[in-house]
Structures are given as structure tokens and as C-alpha cells.
Structure 1
Amino acid sequence: MLQHNPIYVYFPASDMGRARQFYEGKLGLVPQQEINGGVVYAFGGGTAAFLYPTQNAGTSKASQAFWAVAAVDQEIEELKRRGVVFEDYDMPGEKNPSGAISAGGAKAAWFKDSEGNILALIQSL
């Protein structure tokens, strides 16, 4: 059923030029394909994300997506060097100097893209 199939993420963008600068310039993503005014980015495990134009970008108060990473702190350092600004949420758990929060068997950090979408990095502990 569905659990045996890849799942894809949508990144809504109100300004595609600005969004592409963020995703490609700051996050270092490489576009795989352009479709109907949007852009597909491929990721590990055969998954992908579709950046697409819409005026509804940034309206969700919850995380749009997260990357499962091996080392959150290293990813934070690299993304900060590229100009990504991380959110400072007041949440339960232990906050380390990089800003990541450890709780419930995971370490996590959140940032917003150029469109106001909330994205996260998650490391299993």
C-alpha cells in the first residue's frame, strides 16, 4: 500500500525567483527538472520535493518538511555559513550552543525558507 511507496514534499513559493535563490543558493539544492512553473529537487532514498508557485506560501504554522540527518550540529554550522537563519523556539528539552533542541530521542533545529515555510533538521539519538 502507500507505505511501500516514496512520498514527495511540496514547497510552496509566492516568489519563485526568490525561493530558487534560497533553495539552490543557501541550501545548495540542485534542480532536477522544471515542470509547469515549478522545480523538482531529488533527495536520498528516491524521494523528491516540488517547489511550486502559489500565493498560499508560508501560511502554515507547522513544519512543512524535515531532513533526517546524521549530525544536526554540523548541518546547522554549514547552513549558517550559507546565510540560513535558525528559529529559536521555546520548547522542552535541552538546547545546545548551536541552537538544536534534544528531547524524546531526537535532536532538532528549525529554520524558515525565503517564503516563510518552516523546515527542520532531525537527528535520531
Structure 2
Amino acid sequence: MTADGWNVLAGARVATRLPAQDLDRARRFYAEVLGLEPVDERPGGLLYRCGGVDFVLFRSTGASPGTFTQMGWEGVEDLAAVVAELRRRGVVFEEVDVPGLRTVDGIAEVEGNCPSKGARGERGAWFRDSEGNLLALGEPVL
């Protein structure tokens, strides 16, 4: 609760919305590459559910700048194996080399950059979907 007692959003669920200029292309990418199928759809969007959390791909005339992580999967087990399988399916992982964050073969040891749930850090990897959205994978370092 804030100092003035306002916490209307605290009980609401957070849901990610990702733009897609070509919804059919995005559907194919999420199905064929990531193995995900929508749980609901409308003419302008696709609803996905992973680990009990929803995200939406929506038809948009605008494109994501892809300059920051827009969505991520946390709690990935065996990140190296997942990265290898996604590479086999055609995914290109981002290589990052900035102060405090450097990938080696597409995977970074993330220390202190973002809070972890019961872990001392995280190993991370980033890739773009068919629409240019920057997505992340995270494996906790216990």
C-alpha cells in the first residue's frame, strides 16, 4: 500500500501484451519453434498460457523496438539444453557485452541486475520472436 493508502492495482493480475505485425507468422513461430498453442483467439489476437500466466499476441501496425526485454520465462530448468534445442529450431540468441552483463555462447550469468525469487542470481538468454519482440529465458542460480 502506498503512503496515501492507494493500492487498487495490487490485487490485479499482470498480463503481457506483445505486438505482432503478422499474426499468422507469429502463430507459426510460437507453435513450430516454441511449441506453444493459443488457448483462445480473436480476429486480432492470440491468448497463450504458460505456467498459469497469460500473455497475448495482438495484431498491431506498430513494431516493437526490441531494445529491451519485453517478456521472459523464469524458472527454466537446464537453460543450456533449452538454448541448444531452440537453436536447433532456428532461434538466434542475442550476444551481449556491456558493463556488468556478458553472454558466452548466448548465456549470461546475471548477478544483482534483477531480483530473483529465492535464488542468489540467474542465468539468462535472450532472443527475438518473429515480430522482433525481445524475449528472455531465466534459470535461477541457487
Deviation of 1:71 after TM superposition, in Å, equals 2.2
Q: Aligned-pair RMSD on alpha carbons?
A: 1.8
- The reply to whether residue 51 of structure 1 matches residue 68 of structure 2 is no
Aligned residue for 1:122?
138
Task: Tell which deviates more after alignment, 3-12 or 35-44.
Answer: 3-12
**Aligned residue pairs: how many?**
123
Deviation of 1:57 after TM superposition, in Å, equals 2.3
In 2, distance between residues paired with 1:13 and 1:100?
26
TM-score normalized by structure 1?
Answer: 0.87
Q: What stretches of structure 2 of length at least 5 have no aligned partner?
A: 1-7, 112-120
Aligned residue for 1:112?
128
More helix by share: 1
In 2, distance between residues paired with 1:3 and 1:82?
39
- The reply to whether residue 16 of structure 1 matches residue 32 of structure 2 is no
- Per-residue displacement from partner, 1:4-30 (whole Å, max 9, x unpaired)? 543211121011111111111111101
In 1, distance between residues paired with 2:102 and 2:65?
29
In our comparison, the structure showing a higher alpha carbon Rg is 2
- Per-residue displacement from partner, 1:25-79 (whole Å, max 9, x unpaired)? 11110111112421101111x2111110012222242111010112211210111
Q: Residue 35 of structure 1: which of 26, 37, 42 is its match? A: 42
TM-score normalized by structure 2?
Answer: 0.77
Q: Does 1 or 2 have the higher relative contact order (CA < 8 Å, sep 6+)?
A: 1
Aligned residue for 2:69?
63
Task: Tell which deviates more after alignment, 9-18 or 87-96.
Answer: 87-96
* Matched AA of 1:24: A
